[in-house]
Amino acid sequence: MEKTSNATQAKARPQKVNRLGLDLNFYKGEKTTLCAGCGHNAISERLVQAFYEMGVDPYQVIKLSGIGCSSKSPAYFLGYSHGFNAVHGRMPSIATGALIANRSLLGVGVSGDGDTASIGIGQFVHLMRRNLPMIYIIEDNGVYGLTKGQFSATADVGSKLKTGLVNEFPAIDTCAMAIELGATFVARSFSGDRKQMSAILKAAIAHRGLAMIDVISPCVTFNDHEGSTKSYAYVKEHDEYLDEVSFVPYFENITVDYEPGSTVDVELHDGSHLLLSKLPEDYSPFDRKKAVQRLMAAHEKGEVLTGIFYVNPEAKTLFDIMHLHDTPLVQLPEEKLRPSKEVLDEIMEDLK
Amino acid sequence: MSIAEPLTQPKEREVAAQPRINDFVIHVATVNGSGSQSANTALLRAIMQMGIPVSGKNLFPSNIQGLPTWFTIRVNKDGYLARKDHVDVLVAMNPETAHSDVMKVTSGAVVVYDQPLKLDSLRDDLTFYAVPFNDLVKPVVDLPKLRKLVRNIIYDGVLAWLLGIEMESLEEAIRKQFKRKPKAAELNIKAARVGYEYAKDNLPPQKKFRLERMNKTANKILIDGNGAAALGCMFAGVQVITWYPITPSSSLAEQLSDYMTRYRMDPESGKATFAILQAEDELAAIGMVLGAGWAGARAMTATSGPGISLMAEFAGLAYYAEVPGVIFDVQRVGPSTGMPTRSMQGDTLFVALLSHGDTQHIMLFPNSPEEIFDMSIEAFDLAEHLQTLIFVMSDLDLGMNMWMANPFQYPQKPMNRGKVLSAEDLEKIQEWGRYKDIDGDGIPYRTLPGTHHPKAPYFTRGSGHTEYARYTEDPVEFTKVLARIKKKYDKARDILPAPAIDRKPNAKIAFISYGTSHWPVEESRDVLRSEYGIETSYLRIRAYPFSKQVQEFIDAHDRVYVVEQNRDAQMLKLMRMEFTPEQIAKLRSIHSYDGLPMSSEFLVNHFLEQENA
């Protein structure tokens, strides 16, 4: 099959390699077809970096998505992994089927706010409560990009479309919801923040259970204007930080570096401000109640709280609950799958 | 035209003066949730154990407890299993329906009734037997709750004496019924004996309808179609089972779950060699099947019409992205919620073309427990071989009723896992295209996630794709793939289960049916031959798309009656889509859609009406 030429290019000069002996290019995907400067592309880059640095075998990864701009992005990272672009809002079920069939795979699902919080809310809810081991990323811009700019269910009250239409409905906080539903790793980040994204992704890769990450990823085309609460300008002003952060707008790099527990105000190229407030180092992500409280408090202040809110590494996964065989089901030989003739005879005798 | 009414009063309904041996219909009217299911199944089994062919159909309400339910048992020495329209022996236990139940039975019929109902004054052409069930149950057990449950088994004992069911056979049947609850078995046997003794001492002998031992059921099993399908899936080696509860398919998944837990736990590790998941809805159930099928597992779900409607979008994805999976559609009466506990072949047309765009699906049509067992196994082979969904089209009649069947045959062939390329295979070939036709059969090669080879990964998508699984909006590239899928589908006609054909050399008239519509056709052909001197040929469709044998069969006859259980003659419509005008001109439809399994009386009447028109 036609492949990206990254792997061959990589041979031209000596490269740094990871623990599997693979270089960074082996983790790249095809050239993006999303808008220049789209936050989703930054997320793809972070994924490439994180999988490379963690030394994950790309052949063991499956990339899954629904429908929408976000859901196109699995084509743009991990070109040597199988991918499945499902139907709108139904990626969790595809992921569930694939991963129970082959538990040795590492699933990375990429969804959007429409794909998750509107059409896909049902499957999202049940994926969270089943604790299927996989990484579930929401590329969240509060808008339907691919159909040219309608509101999604994560759009904040008061945000305004280019047409002048104002959103009157409260936003769904997918993180607070996920925590309540029993998700075992819940985080929020910002697409422009390299350091935090990388740290969260690496932690997610290491997590045994479902890792849900909501990434605020502003839409440069349909939602990046003053009235929108998910525009670059708005997020830059209202992003409250747990952990550390650096913000990278699409046409220039701006980095920040500040102490845990502090707040930093970064002025960006267009004059807008990003208010970053970092969680203290002693923040414990093991308390569900406190995590939800913090999220609610941030909402009240009009801030976007980021960081890893909640982790429970001990919870039973779906595989545990199913008493699933340690060997992936797809690798079991025929003799393990088809009971003997004696079993059939026994059952037939019973039915006489 | 009212299709539910027989056109002429069926003959043979007047009960003859001579006793009817091993050929009559018992109808039991009870209240849902009162323990009648056990009593009825025990009755069915007791008769079968006497070597007499028997079939039972449960006409039950969409309700947990309290609404009327009927169980109709047809005893037939010739082995016909179709439902009959009339009633010879009525057991009236339900005060709500007793009056109308009595008014509906055939003249000369026998009625056993609960004494306080005082039914004997309703008609003077019936023989009534009053039984004081409440008085009889009192000495059997003290607890009122248990009394309610064992009260019904007393009529088994009464019928045993009235009809000539051997008590040993009834007791054995009750023991089988409660095989994991010996205490309950003994209690029920005690109650049945009380009924038998009461009848013997108090009721005049009944000589019109008698059961006499035969030897026609040796080695037979008694099973419902959902249980047979579940067994088929287990022996097919199913790995992933997802489902969402819906009548009448739930018992397929539930029985499968029981069987798998008993027989498919790995003895070495004690762990499951399968995954069963009750999904949040049918959308998720089919999505999980696709995910698992894509990853290389044998995956299935079981549902009914409303679930099929919800699965439409994913069914299109499976078709276009070429993902294997098996879907059981245990059909019930539609449209909409319809009558959830009644039977219909109402999804034939919808499933054939399920989903938007140019989509076509493969359907299998089992007519019996034996066949649904075999077809369940074959469905998984076909799904993986053809890389598409296989719909096994059952219905409530087959799925939830108890059928007398031959013991199932252990699968003779190893599993066909289809064209899957391993890392070693990929090493040997220059290139591969996920959607390329290499072998000329329209079936491409696939790789599974987790295959350690740089050529293995590809991107599965429902959006336009090339033969190399790359996104495309190019007219030529898009058309190439869609045309190749059509080729695969057309070629599948030759490998799907062939129709079952009974050609009579001089017959000008023929029947075509499928699924459970087979049973009235089988009986009607004999009736037409013996009573009207009309010889007919018969073809039973076992798969869609049609084998070319179907067209050849139509060509060989003057008139062909397509018999099915839906309003719109759905199978006939599918034939019209692809057969020649000459063939279509020969087709006539006989169809019922009242939710009851079609009877041979209905079929014969409608056949004669059209023949005589």
- DSSP for A319-336, please give it: HHHTTB-SS-GGGS-HHH
Quick one: which of A95, A147, A94 has its CA closest to A118?
A: A147
| A160 shares contact with chain B (CB less than 8 Å) | no
Q: Quick check: B290 and A98 in contact, CB under 8 A? A: no
Residues B230 and B197 reside in one and the same domain:
no
Residues of B (171-230) whose Cβ lies below 8 Å from A: 179, 219-223
Q: Please report the sign of the dihedral spanned by the C-alpha atoms of residue B225, residue B227, residue B228, residue B230.
A: positive
Q: A95 in the Ramachandran plot: left (φ > 0), alpha (ψ -120 to 50) or beta?
A: alpha
Judge whether residue A337 has pLDDT over 80: yes
Q: Does the distance separating the beta carbons of B447 and A82 come in below 8 Å? A: yes
Structure tokens at B246: 């819906």
**Predicted local distance difference test score (pLDDT) of residue B70:** 93
Residue contacts between A and B (CB atoms, under 8 Å): 222
Instruction: Indicate yes or no: CB of A329 within 8 angstroms of CB of B274.
Output: yes
Q: How far apart are CA B541 and CA B522, in angstroms?
A: 14
pLDDT at position B32 is 83
Give the other-Cβ count within 10 Å of B113's Cβ: 26
For the domain made up of A6-351, give the CATH fold.
Answer: Rossmann fold (3.40.50)
Q: What is the pLDDT of residues B450-501, one digit of tens each?
A: 999 999 999 999 999 999 999 999 999 999 999 999 999 999 999 999 999 9
> What's the pLDDT at B150?
92
Mark whether B441 and B570 lie in a shared domain: no
With contact defined as beta carbons under 8 Å apart, do B553 and B501 qualify? yes
- Provide the residue type at A232 as one letter: Y
Centre a 10 Å sphere on the Cβ of residue A115 and count the other Cβ atoms it contains: 31
Which residues of chain A make contact with B295, given a CB cutoff of 8 A?
Answer: 62, 97-99, 101-102, 105, 330
Is residue B357 less than 8 Å (CB to CB) from chain A?
Answer: no
Residue B565 and residue B517 in contact, taking contact as beta carbons nearer than 8 Å:
yes
Biggest alpha carbon distance in chain B? 88
- The closest alpha carbon to A50, from A255, A226, A215, belongs to A215
The C-alpha atoms of residue A269 and residue A274 are separated, in whole angstroms, by: 11
DSSP 8-state symbol, B109: -
The tokens describing A285, both together, are 């992500």
pLDDT for A243 equals 46
Contact B183, B143 (CB under 8 A): no
For residues B77 and B150, state if they share a domain: yes
Whole-angstrom Cα distance, residue B429 to residue B447?
13
- What pLDDT shows up at residue A30? 92
B533 with B583: CB under 8 angstroms? no
Q: pLDDT by residue (tens digit) across B223-243?
A: 999 999 999 999 999 999 999
**Within 10 A of A16 (CB to CB), how many other CB atoms are there?**
7
For residue A7, the model assigns a pLDDT of: 44
Average pLDDT in the A141-149 region? 70
pLDDT for residue B48 is more than 90: yes
pLDDT number for residue B66: 77
Number of neighbours of residue B493 by Cβ within 10 angstroms: 17
Contacts A120 to B, Cβ<8 Å: none
Mean pLDDT of A218-223: 68
* pLDDT (average), residues B282-310: 98
In this prediction, residue A342 has a pLDDT band, given cuts at 50, 70 and 90, of: very high
pLDDT of residue A222: 62
- Per-residue confidence at A255, pLDDT binned at 50, 70, 90? very low
pLDDT at site B448: 98
Q: Is A34 on the interface with B (CB under 8 A)?
A: no
Q: What is residue A163's predicted lDDT score, i.e. its pLDDT?
A: 78
pLDDT tens, residue by residue, B53-74: 999 999 888 877 778 899 999 9
Burial per residue of A235-250, b for 16 or more beta-carbon CB atoms within 10 angstroms, e otherwise: bbbbbbbbbbbbbbbb
Question: Does residue A35 have a pLDDT over 90?
Answer: no
Whole-angstrom distance, CA of residue B25 vs CA of residue B10: 15
Burial class (CB in 10 A: 0-12, 13-18, 19+), A332: middle
Average pLDDT, rounded, for chain A: 82
Which pLDDT does position A233 carry in this prediction? 65
Report, as an integer, the average pLDDT of B586-603.
Answer: 97
- Residue from the list B237, B447, B462 with its beta carbon closest to the beta carbon of A87: B462
Same domain, B150 and B120: yes
Each residue's pLDDT tens digit, B17-30: 689 999 999 999 99
B284·A93 Cβ contact <8 A: yes
Distance CA A58, CA A106 (A): 9
In chain A, which residues have their Cβ closer than 8 Å to the Cβ of B407? Answer: 348, 351-352
pLDDT band at residue A193 under the 50/70/90 scheme = confident
Q: Which residues of A touch B299 (CB under 8 A)?
A: 97, 101
pLDDT at B325 over 50: yes
Is B171 a member of any domain?
yes
Provide, rounded to the nearest whole percent, the portion of chain B with pLDDT above 90.
Answer: 92
One domain for residues B398 and B481: no
| Distance from C-alpha of A88 to C-alpha of B463, rounded to nearest angstrom | 12
The predicted pLDDT at position B160 comes to: 98
Query: Can you give the pLDDT at residue A25?
Result: 95
First to last CA, chain A: 55
Distance CA B260, CA B242 (A): 13
Give the confidence band of B370 by pLDDT, cuts at 50, 70, 90: very high
Would the pLDDT of A346 be above 80?
yes
Which residue range(s) make up the domain with B229? 223-405
Written in H, E and C, the secondary structure of B222-276 is: EEEHHHHHHHHHHHHCCCEEEECCCCCCHHHHHHHHHHHHHHCECCCCCCECCEE
What pLDDT was estimated at residue A232?
63
Give the three-class secondary structure for A348. helix
pLDDT above 70 as % of chain B = 97
* Tokens encoding B115: 């004494």
Q: B535 and B449 in one domain? A: no
pLDDT band at B96 (very low <50, low <70, confident <90, very high): very high
Q: Using alpha carbons, list the distances in angstroms from residue A3 to A8, A25, B457.
A: 10, 12, 10
Distance, in Å, from the CA atom of B21 to the CA atom of B213, rounded to the nearest integer, reads 10
Distance of CA B418 to the CA centre of its chain: 28
> Is residue B11 pLDDT above 70, yes or no?
no
Rounded to the nearest angstrom, the gap between the alpha carbon of residue B136 and the centroid of all alpha carbons in its chain is 37
- Binned at pLDDT 50, 70 and 90, residue A10 comes out as very low
Contact A102 B450 (CB under 8 A): yes
Do B323 and B426 belong together in one domain?
no
HEC profile for A252-276?
Answer: CCCCCCCCCCCEEEEECCCCCEEEE
CA of A74: which chain B residue's CA is closest?
B459
Q: Which residue, among A108, A111, A107, has the nearest Cα to A88 in the 3D structure?
A: A111
Q: State percent of chain A over pLDDT 70.
A: 76
Residue B467 sits in the same domain as residue B362: no
What pLDDT, in 10s, does the model give residues B385-438? 999 999 999 999 999 999 999 999 999 999 999 999 999 999 999 989 999 999
Interval B174-180 mean pLDDT: 93
Q: What is the ipTM of this complex?
A: 0.94
Q: Which of B217, B247, B272 is the last residue of a domain?
A: B217
- Chain B residue nearest residue A122, CA to CA: B280
CB-CB neighbors (< 8 A) of B434 in chain A: 1
Asked whether residue B11 is assigned to any structural domain, the reply reads no
Q: Are residues B141 and B241 in the same domain?
A: no
Q: Is the pLDDT of residue A95 over 70?
A: yes
Helix axes B369-386, B225-236, angle to 10 degrees: 40
Q: Which has the minimum average pLDDT: A51-65, A287-301, B248-262, B414-428? A: A287-301
The phi, psi pair for B86, rounded to 5°, reads: -110, 170
| Any A CB within 8 A of B134 CB | no
CATH of the domain at B307: 3.40.50.970
Domain match, B467 and B527 both: no
DSSP labels, B9-56: --TT-SPPSSPEESEEEEEEEEETTSSHHHHHHHHHHHHHHTT--EEE
Q: What pLDDT is recorded for position B322?
A: 98
Residue B203 has pLDDT above 70, yes or no: yes
Selected for mutation to probe chain B from A324, A338, A342 (highest B CB count within 10 Å) is A338
| pLDDT tens per residue, range A169-189 | 988 999 999 999 999 999 998
Q: Do A352 and B222 touch (CB under 8 A)?
A: yes
Counting beta carbons within 10 angstroms of the beta carbon of residue B336, is it exposed (0 to 12), middle (13 to 18) or buried (19 or more)?
Answer: exposed
For helices A174-181 and A288-300, angle between their N-to-C axes, nearest 10 degrees:
160
Q: Which residues have CB under 8 Å from A119's CB, separation 6+?
A: A66, A88, A89
Of the pLDDT bands very low, low, confident and very high (cuts 50, 70, 90), residue A250 is very low
* DSSP bridge pairs for A240: A305
A264: β partners: A276
CATH of residue B156's domain is 3.40.920.10
Cβ distance B344 to B565 under 8 Å? yes
Spatial distance between the Cα atoms of B303 and B328, rounded to a whole number of angstroms: 6
Residue A322 to chain B, least CA–CA distance (Å) = 7
Which residues, including other chains, have CB under 8 Å from residue B353's CB and lie 6 or more apart?
A: B359, B360, B361
Instruction: Assess whether the previous peptide bond of A133 is cis (omega < 30° from 0).
Output: no
Q: What is the pLDDT of residue B157?
A: 98
| Within a domain: B453 | yes
Q: How far apart are CA B458 and CA A335, in angstroms?
A: 30
Residue A43: pLDDT over 70: yes
B276 contacts B244 by C-beta, under 8 angstroms: no
Residue B2 placed within a domain? no
Vertex B121 angle, CA B116 and B123, to 5°? 125
| pLDDT value at A253 more than 60 | no
Residue A81 has pLDDT above 70, yes or no: yes
The verdict on B227 and B322 lying in the same domain is yes
Residues B452 and B515 in one domain: no
Q: Is the model more confident about A274 or about B305?
A: B305
A257 and chain B in contact, CB less than 8 A: no
How many domains does the structure of chain B reveal? 4
**What mean pLDDT comes out for the span B349-378?**
98
